[in-house]
Amino acid sequence: MIDLKIGMICPFYPPHHGGTEKYVFNLSRIFSESNDVSVITTRDESDIPSTERDRKLEILRFRYHFKPLNNPISFSQIRYIISNYKTFDILHFNDIYAFSTYSSLFIKKIPRVLTFHTWRIKYDSLFKNMLSYGFDKVAFDLIINKMDRLIVLVDSQKEYLEKRGVSPEKISVIPNGIQTGFFGRDKDEARKYFNIGTDFVYGYFGRLVERKGLRLLLDVFSDSKFDLYIFGNGPLKPLILKYSGKYQNIHFIEGPFSEEEVALIYSAIDLYILPSLSGEGCPTGLLEALSSGTMCLASDLPENVCTLKDKGLYFRTGDIKDLEEKIKSSRYEDMDKNDLKNYAREFDWKNISEKIMNVYNEIL
């Protein structure tokens, strides 16, 4: 089926950085080759235009008013969706926790798809956890019942939804996608670019937020002779600066980064570490690292394990001693770089976009 009018609804969109943003960006670009696609999102920078158009791709950005739990609340975005949903053949919502997804409760007849991105986040404060718990009790099932199809990124998420009573026929397991041909730079050139002279590079790249487990990582390397490079930005920047100022082996390189720089980061790293405590879906960082031929060490969250399978190393989530031991032993692991790259090719956007379009066609 071609020439659909697709509405892609998301909390943020590039140049804002994140896994959900990359997901919507790549899907929209691919789908707009033969369909009309409107991305309905928010903006927080005054120099970003509210409307952009590139042939059959339209990007509509609405100002938001608040951002609790990094979730932008834009009433103008909600009003636009509710007022214009009949002009679309299908609406694709991204992230059940996004405020914009609430608009699905006021829409009738138009087919709706929801992709889960973040997953069961555990916050560092009682108040935030109470808000999340309240949403789960009040809105979670209401939103799910309004959707014609749910896209989850890994099998463990499908199992969870089935336990909550969702029919298996309503759930499609389709992982994140990546541009596999884009990654894999020369290691020496990548290290030269970031002025890295270390023989073995341990690294983290991503948002600097509590749920990523960065305090564990910092505590391990504050008592280590090995060098850690942290790339990114976010609320934990002051903490990272504190550790990098105190310990010579902890290095901080602040973002944002261009896409080319992102590719260089993964090639400069020998071991990509993702110590997440909660909230992962199908982590783009792991896939991009694998596509670069870079070995990965991740917490044993079900979503991480379902993504890496036997192509990575694991430690017990939140266990600093186990993390420390796995970091030390990782230097002696020998994983075939070509094997990692070949595995990552399964997640190429061409394959993933075809699967998602098949979902659209089924429910239409």
Residues 12 and 141 in one domain: yes
pLDDT at 125: 67
What's phi and psi for 204, nearest 5 deg?
Answer: -130, 135
pLDDT at 17: 79
Which contacts (CB < 8 Å, 24+ apart) does range 105-111 have?
A: 105/142, 105/143, 105/146, 106/82, 107/81, 107/82, 107/146, 110/85, 110/86, 111/148, 111/360, 111/363, 111/364
pLDDT at 123: 61
Checking if the pLDDT of 282 tops 90, the result is: no
Q: What is the DSSP letter of 147?
A: -
Q: What is the DSSP letter of 151?
A: E
pLDDT at 97: 86
Checking if the pLDDT of 175 tops 80, the result is: yes
pLDDT bin (cut points 50, 70, 90) of residue 330 is very high
Residues 221 and 95 in one domain: no
46 alpha-carbon distance from chain centroid: 25
- 147, 143, 150: which is closest to 172 by C-alpha? 150
Residues 235 and 109 in one domain: no
CATH value at residue 296: 3.40.50.2000
d(CA 74, CA 338): 45
Checking if the pLDDT of 170 tops 90, the result is: yes
Q: How many CB atoms within 10 Å of residue 159? A: 15
Instruction: Please state whether the peptide bond connecting residue 235 to the residue before it is cis, i.e. omega within 30 degrees of 0.
Output: no
Residues 207 and 236 in one domain: yes
Residue 9 lies in domain:
5-177+348-363
Q: What is the DSSP letter of 216?
A: H
Residues 339 and 352 in one domain: no
Rg of the chain taking only CA atoms, in angstroms? 20
Mean pLDDT of the chain: 91
Residues 276 and 186 in one domain: yes
More confident residue, 118 or 109: 109
Residues 153 and 230 in one domain: no
Which contacts (CB < 8 Å, 24+ apart) does range 121-126 have?
A: 121/69, 121/97, 121/211, 121/278, 121/279, 122/211, 122/277, 122/278, 122/279, 123/69, 123/210, 123/211, 124/210, 124/211
Give the three-state DSSP class for 50.
Answer: coil
CB of 272 closer than 8 Å to CB of 247: no
Tell me the DSSP string of 165-213.
T--GGGEEE----B-GGG----HHHHHHHTT---SS-EEEEEE--GGGT
d(CA 176, CA 171): 15
Checking if the pLDDT of 196 tops 90, the result is: yes
Residues 88 and 228 in one domain: no
Tell me the whole-structure pTM to 2 decimals: 0.84
Checking if the pLDDT of 46 tops 90, the result is: no
Checking if the pLDDT of 132 tops 80, the result is: no
Q: What are the residues whose beta carbons fall under 8 Å from the beta carbon of 185, sequence distance 6 or more?
A: 263, 264, 266, 267, 292
pLDDT at 75: 94
Domain tally, the chain: 2
Q: Calculate mean pLDDT across residues 156-184.
A: 93
Instruction: Count CA atoms closer than 13 A to 46's CA, side-chain side.
Output: 0
Residues 33 and 166 in one domain: yes
pLDDT bin (cut points 50, 70, 90) of residue 334 is confident
Q: Calculate mean pLDDT across residues 304-324.
A: 95
pLDDT at 44: 76
Residues 59 and 152 in one domain: yes
pLDDT bin (cut points 50, 70, 90) of residue 301 is very high
Structural tokens at position 312: 């990575």
Percentage of the chain exceeding pLDDT 90: 73
Residues 173 and 315 in one domain: no
Residues 109 and 215 in one domain: no
Q: Calculate mean pLDDT across residues 59-69.
A: 89
Structural tokens at position 22: 């990359």
What's phi and psi for 142, nearest 5 deg?
Answer: -60, -45
Q: What are the residues whose beta carbons fall under 8 Å from the beta carbon of 146, sequence distance 6 or more?
A: 104, 105, 107, 112
